């Protein structure tokens, strides 16, 4: 192919975070040709990108990163200048039911991309970055005190986080062994528009809307650090363009919430937005059997990216969560499309 622009590969761009990253890059960088590679699993949804689909610097390719020959041919065709890798199996509960797709996509798929990048860039003198998007879950679980940082030892506890940890190790090994220019960032829990309603916040918004039980695992005492998805996408942009090769960046909101407190806040906002009697949504809270191996607390210290790259979260949580609730209430077609069909089977199997 004759290249007139820099070809940037973004994997998993039809998913939750990936779609926000693709939108940001397509709108901000007309000088790039953005190729969004996505298998369109249950979590991939091209509706997430309907506003940018027809932009001339955007192209969608349906494909599976687990297919080694396919990935090698894709790199041969596009001669990508850089990669931002988000494609993954991402839901902890699904990894507990069946870890194998997590090993395939998150480890083998990542290794396929790394191998193709090494082959494509080995003789080039240009700067090429392989940027791998990872999670704070690779560090395991915290007690009440302290934060994960870039130097916290890996201690993954679920099949999902073990597969992400494996992929992170392969990324670093490819730099060390083959000289690939890599960057990794590890982010805390994201929330916002377009998140598949298997994850806590959109699942509970949908259930409150439909007056269905809110299945809180255990006693609801687990703690997560929440970040608005567009703030993560901005961080990814900064790290890709200004981050140092070989480095790791922690990204988080310094915004810890106990699950039960978060669910009560959601209930309060939904009561008000849906004009329901105050306290009525909270009556839906139902304590159910805890998640196996449930990590108690995640909290990440993101001061490095703030100090070195000037990144900060832009939204207060109360503002972001209200904006998020409104998005799901307004985008009823999106929510109905993703919760029909196979979602119902998943829901029955997971929650009975
Ligand atoms: P998601 O599940 O919403 O989206 C994943 C996307 O990857 C989907 O579009 C899916 O179709 C695609 N995909 C899955 N398997 C594929 C394969 N074999 N080949 C090609 N495409 C495939 O996930 P997300 O929440 O947007 O997470 C994106 C990335 O960010 C993941 O790597 C995840 O580990 C990481 N991350 C997520 C969070 C979070 O809170 N959601 C936080 C930190 C890091
Ligand atoms: O920390 C980053 C990670 O955050 C990402 O790497 C993962 O891809 C992403 O899924 C997320 O993992 P969590 O397991 O923290 O997210 P989830 O939304 O599944 O759950 C958040 C908390 O809510 C967790 O303590 C489990 C609890 N929970 C979740 C569900 C789905 C419930 O109590 N009930 C539920 O039905």
Does a structural domain hold residue 285? no
Q: For ligand 2, pick from 291, 296, 352 the residue to mutate: most ligand atoms within 8 Å of CB.
A: 291
Q: Tell me the C-alpha distance between 206 and 299, whole Å.
A: 26
Residue appearing with tokens 């060390």: 176
Give 70-98 pLDDT, tens digit per residue.
999 999 999 999 999 999 999 999 999 99
44 three-class SS: coil
Q: Mark residue 196 as left, alpha or beta (left: phi above 0; alpha: psi -120 to 50; beta: remaining).
A: beta
pLDDT at 337: 94
Say yes or no to pLDDT of 45 above 90.
Answer: yes
Q: Apex CA 96: angle with CA 93 and CA 102, to 5°?
A: 95
Does a structural domain hold residue 143? yes
Smallest CA-to-CA distance from 350 within 135, 139, 196 is with 196
Tokens of 295: 């990590």
Q: Which of 38, 81, 137, 256 is catalytic?
A: 137
Q: Which domain holds residue 27?
A: 6-192+226-257+293-317
Question: Cβ(350)–Cβ(93) under 8 Å?
Answer: yes
Band the pLDDT of 5: cuts 50, 70, 90. confident
**What residues does ligand 1 touch, defined as CB less than 6 Å away?**
11-12, 14-18, 38-41, 43-44, 64-66, 86-90, 105, 109, 133, 135, 164, 187, 189-190, 196
Does a structural domain hold residue 344? no
Give 290-326 pLDDT, tens digit per residue.
999 999 999 999 999 999 999 999 999 999 999 999 9
Average pLDDT over the chain, rounded to whole? 97
pLDDT at 144: 87
Question: Cβ(245)–Cβ(183) under 8 Å?
Answer: yes
Element (H, E) at 242: helix 229-242
Mention every residue, 6+ apart, whose C-beta is less than 8 A from residue 336. none
Say yes or no to pLDDT of 16 above 60.
Answer: yes
Smallest CA-to-CA distance from 193 within 59, 323, 33 is with 323
Q: What CATH number corresponds to the domain at position 99?
A: 3.40.50.720
Mean pLDDT across 192-221: 98
**What residues does ligand 2 touch, defined as CB less than 6 Å away?**
90-92, 135-137, 188-189, 199-200, 203, 215-217, 222, 224, 259, 291, 298
What total of structural domains would you count in the chain? 1
Does a structural domain hold residue 123? yes
- Is position 191 annotated as part of the catalytic site? no
Say yes or no to pLDDT of 2 above 60.
Answer: no
Does a structural domain hold residue 348? no
Smallest CA-to-CA distance from 74 within 108, 45, 36, 48 is with 36
Tokens of 228: 């608005």
| DSSP H helices in 103-192 | 110-121, 159-178
- Is position 126 annotated as part of the catalytic site? no
Does a structural domain hold residue 349? no
Question: Cβ(136)–Cβ(187) under 8 Å?
Answer: yes
335 three-class SS: helix
Does a structural domain hold residue 214? no
Does a structural domain hold residue 284? no
Question: Cβ(120)–Cβ(79) under 8 Å?
Answer: yes
Q: Tell me the C-alpha distance between 159 and 163, whole Å.
A: 6
pLDDT at 245: 97
- Is position 225 annotated as part of the catalytic site? no
């Amino acid at each position: 192919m004759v290249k007139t622009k820099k070809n940037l590969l973004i994997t998993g761009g039809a998913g939750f975070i990936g779609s926000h990253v693709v939108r940001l890059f397509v709108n901000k960088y007309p000088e790039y040709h953005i190729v969004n590679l996505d298998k369109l699993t249950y979590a991939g949804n091209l509706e997430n990108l309907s506003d940018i689909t027809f932009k001339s610097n955007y192209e969608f390719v349906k494909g599976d990163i687990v297919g080694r020959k396919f990935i090698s041919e894709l790199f041969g065709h596009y001669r990508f200048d850089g990669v931002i890798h988000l494609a993954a199996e991402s839901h902890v509960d699904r990894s507990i039911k069946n870890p194998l797709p997590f090993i395939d996509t998150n480890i083998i798929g990542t290794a396929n991309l790394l191998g193709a990048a090494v082959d494509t860039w080995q003789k080039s003198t240009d700067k090429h970055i392989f940027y791998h998007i990872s999670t704070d879950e690779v560090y395991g679980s915290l007690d009440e005190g302290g934060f994960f940082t870039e130097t916290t030892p890996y201690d993954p506890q679920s099949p999902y986080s073990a597969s992400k940890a494996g992929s992170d190790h392969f990324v670093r090994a490819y730099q060390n062994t083959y000289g690939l220019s890599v960057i990794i960032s590890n982010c805390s829990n994201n929330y916002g528009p377009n998140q598949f309603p298997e994850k806590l916040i959109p699942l509970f918004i949908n259930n409150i809307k439909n007056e269905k039980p809110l299945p809180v695992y255990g006693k609801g005492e687990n703690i997560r650090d929440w970040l608005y998805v567009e703030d993560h996408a901005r961080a990814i942009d900064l790290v890709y363009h200004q981050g140092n090769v070989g480095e790791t960046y922690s990204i988080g909101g310094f915004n810890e919430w106990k699950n039960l407190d978060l669910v009560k806040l959601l209930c309060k906002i939904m009561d008000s937005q849906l004009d329901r009697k105050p306290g009525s949504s909270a009556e839906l809270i139902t304590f159910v059997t805890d998640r196996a191996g449930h990590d108690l607390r995640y909290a990440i210290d993101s001061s490095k990216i703030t100090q070195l790259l000037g990144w900060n979260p832009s939204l207060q949580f109360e503002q972001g969560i209200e904006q998020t609730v409104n998005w799901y209430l307004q985008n009823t077609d999106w929510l109905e499309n993703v919760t029909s069909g196979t979602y119902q089977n998943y829901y029955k199997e997971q929650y009975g």
